Amino acid sequence: MKLQKLFIGLIMFVVSHSFYAQTLVYGLGSTETKAEVTFNDGHTEEGVVSGFIQRRYMYVDVEYPFKTLERELNLDDKVFTFETSFEGKRKIKSSEVRIVEEIYEDGYSLFKRLTIKTVNSKGKIIDLKKQVWLPYLIEDRVNILGFSVFGDNGTYLGTYIYLNREGEDFAINPIDFNRLNLFNIGKTDDKMKIALKETFADCEATLSYIDEMFAKKGKKRNKRVTLAKEDLDSIKKRKLKGKEKAYEIGKLYEKFMIDFYRNIVDHYNEHCPE
């Protein structure tokens, strides 16, 4: 099985978004949440953020096709409200802030504002010259950031991943769904490989590992697919139905996608430690 098959849901959504309408549900941002904000000068303030990348629904309409997924998800939010006990409410420009940490009773969500790079049709790393807020999935020497998109019936449409080396102010998007169409979909694996090799360029062992993962009969990739199938079978045994079943299957594929990148980061840490 080629890894690109796991992208089909979101790819087909992006490719066909100008032909039909659909509502998507996701879990980014908040209307009002306790948070710690880290400003560009390094100082932090605790308070309550509101209106921060707040939209949770996206409606795709034939008459109003969107420009980019990041724009529709409001990840390029330019301003939000921040309230502290000593200054009250005030508007803050995103350009003044580096990190927003939303704090909940059972954990936190970390967002970092980064410039985005991707791989173009010629196999070159290019700067998209746009800054967006990205939620952390895994914090490490190479951070894994991103989010998943689900249909309003719970159907998984894909996981959008970005890689950011700690200390750098940009993230590489291995697969830019905004640029995919029916004519270049076959280049998905090639673009991923280029982006990964750029990210882990300082580790020869990990570069070889990446080559192995993308080999036609790479054992590592086949093993991951087998594990995903086993987990799918376990969900079937739970006799879930409808939206709940679709969502649980989606979370499984989300984990598969994140683990694909996590395995490379783990290999990098093991073979090329600091």
Domain that holds residue 29: 3-271
54 band by pLDDT with thresholds 50, 70 and 90: low
User: Is the distance from CB of 2 to CB of 189 less than 8 angstroms?
Assistant: yes
44 band by pLDDT with thresholds 50, 70 and 90: very high
Please name the residues in contact with 123: beta carbons below 8 A apart, sequence gap of 6 or more. Answer: 190, 191, 194
pLDDT for the residue numbered 67: 63
Side-chain half-sphere CA neighbours of 163 within 13 A:
26
28 band by pLDDT with thresholds 50, 70 and 90: low
Higher per-residue pLDDT: 151 or 264? 264
Check pLDDT > 90 for residue 155.
Answer: no
174 band by pLDDT with thresholds 50, 70 and 90: confident
252 band by pLDDT with thresholds 50, 70 and 90: confident
> Is the torsion defined by CA of 180, 27, 70, 117 positive or negative?
negative
The total number of structural domains that make up the chain: 1
Check pLDDT > 60 for residue 33.
Answer: yes
**Exposed e or buried b per residue across 6-29, where buried means at least 16 C-beta atoms within 10 angstroms of its C-beta:** bbebbbebbeebeeeebebebebb
Name which of 177, 179, 171, 147 is nearest 258 in CA terms. Answer: 147
Name the token pair of 137: 């999935």
Check pLDDT > 50 for residue 23.
Answer: no
Question: pTM for the whole thing?
Answer: 0.79
- pLDDT, one tens digit per residue, over 182-219 is 444 546 778 889 999 999 999 999 999 999 888 854 44
